Each structure stands twice: as structure tokens, then as C-alpha cells.
Amino acid sequence: MQLTKWIAVTMTVSLLGGRAFSQSADDIISKHIDAMGGKDKIATLTSVYEETNNSIMGNDLPAKVWIANQTGYRMEMDMSGSKMVYAATKDKGVMINPMAGSSDPQPIPDDAMKGFVKRMQLAGPFINYKDQGYTATLVGKDTVNGKNTYKIKLTKSGEPDATYYIDATTYYIDKATTEVTMNGSATMQDIVFNGYNKTPEGYVFPTGFTLELPQGELVTTINKIVVNQPIDAKLFQNP
């Protein structure tokens, strides 16, 4: 089960080619940031704790996730009596993956680490994207689950391209497509977001997402979110 890949996949096909658009990529990105609470509000988000349920091939796998903004990531998932653990900082990560046949800590592969580092960026992919070396291009329009979306492609030298499908009405991200490496081969992978809620503090988060894996469809439901609570840095150091 390539659970390493779906965890690492963070948010990261043109239909209309070069046809002129009434809105630019920056117009759409600005509306997306406003829909997510605004740049100033997003900048106050320091940490997130999540409790999720992950369903694949008839199995329900509860998990807990801790993220400190731009600092660390930890995930603990219950797997039929065993526990899968990922602990990462921006520089390195360690995992315990019983599905790989060992309960000994192992380094997180480099490809997966890139995904974990992106997950540590709680502000999302578009805040100050130019300062981070990315280029955003409006490449077309499409529909996701019957909803009209704008397709914004983010590119940066040395990284796989990522395309975000931004809802033309709500300006939330309905889908993200990026290139990931599985078993040594590059493949395109989609994450479709199942909806969004606003916390009492005014932050907007997805309620869950669906990811296509070789083993079948993975459906993640986010049952609980706690923001801006202190997180012990030791959580990110050792499984």
C-alpha cells in the first residue's frame, strides 16, 4: 500500500489553449486567498492538529496529524493493531511502516519528504508564491464534480508541476493534480476535495478529500481540527 505517497502528496491539460481569459491567474489567486480567510488571517495560523478517518479497500484507518507551520509534521495511523508513524522536520524524516514488513524506524524517502515539507506550509500553495520562485499560469477551465473551475498551474525549476482547480463560485480548491513517483515511475495523481468548513476562529479547511491509488480509492474524512495549540517539537524528531 503506497500510503507514503498519498500522505506526501500536498497539495501540489489545458482545455482552452491560448484563448484570452477575462480573469488573470493573479486575479483568481487573490480571490482564493480571500475565500480562505485573507492573507493577514492565514498568516496567524501557527499549528494544526487533525483527527481523521481514512477508508481504503473496506478498511477504516483512524489517524492523528500534528503540523507546526514550516517546522514539523507528524502522523500516527492505526492499522489493525499496528501503528504507522511519520515524523519529519524540514531537513529530515523518519517513519515506521508495518506494511513494509518492519517495525524499525527508517528514513523517509526523498520524494516523500518533499511532500511532507509542503504539508508544513499551512498558508497553502499560493501565499507569496512568486517570492518562493513559482510561476502561476491560468491554463484553462474544467469541471470538477459538476462545478466550473479555473485551472492554475504552479511551476518551479526542479519541482514537478502542480495544477489546482479553483472553484469559479467559491474560489476554494476543488482538485489538485501533481506528479508523484511510485515504485520508481512518475505518474499523475489527483486529490479531489470533498468540501470546506470554517472553524470558530475563522480559518477555512477541507472537510476531507479523495485520492486515487493503485490499490483503489482512498477517502479521508477530517473529523476534528484544532488550530494554534502548542506542539512539542519532540513529536517531529522520533517515531
Whole-number pLDDT of residue 134: 95
DSSP reduced 3-state for 163:
strand
Q: Comparing C-alpha atoms, which of 194, 203, 196 is closest to residue 226?
A: 203
Q: How many CB atoms lie within 10 A of CB 51?
A: 14
pLDDT tens digits, one per residue of 169-215: 999 999 999 877 666 667 778 999 999 999 999 999 999 999 977 67
| Neighbouring-strand partners of residue 186 | 181
Whole-number pLDDT of residue 28: 97
Ordered domains of the chain (ranges, CATH): 3-12+15-236 (2.50.20.10)
Q: Give 6's Cβ-side CA count (13 Å radius).
A: 21
Whole-number pLDDT of residue 183: 61
Residues lower than pLDDT 70 in the chain: 1-22, 100-101, 181-185, 214
Tell me how far CA of residue 113 lies from CA of 10, 44, 225, in angstroms: 11, 25, 23
CA distance 227 to 232: 14
pTM to 2 decimals? 0.85
Whole-number pLDDT of residue 80: 77
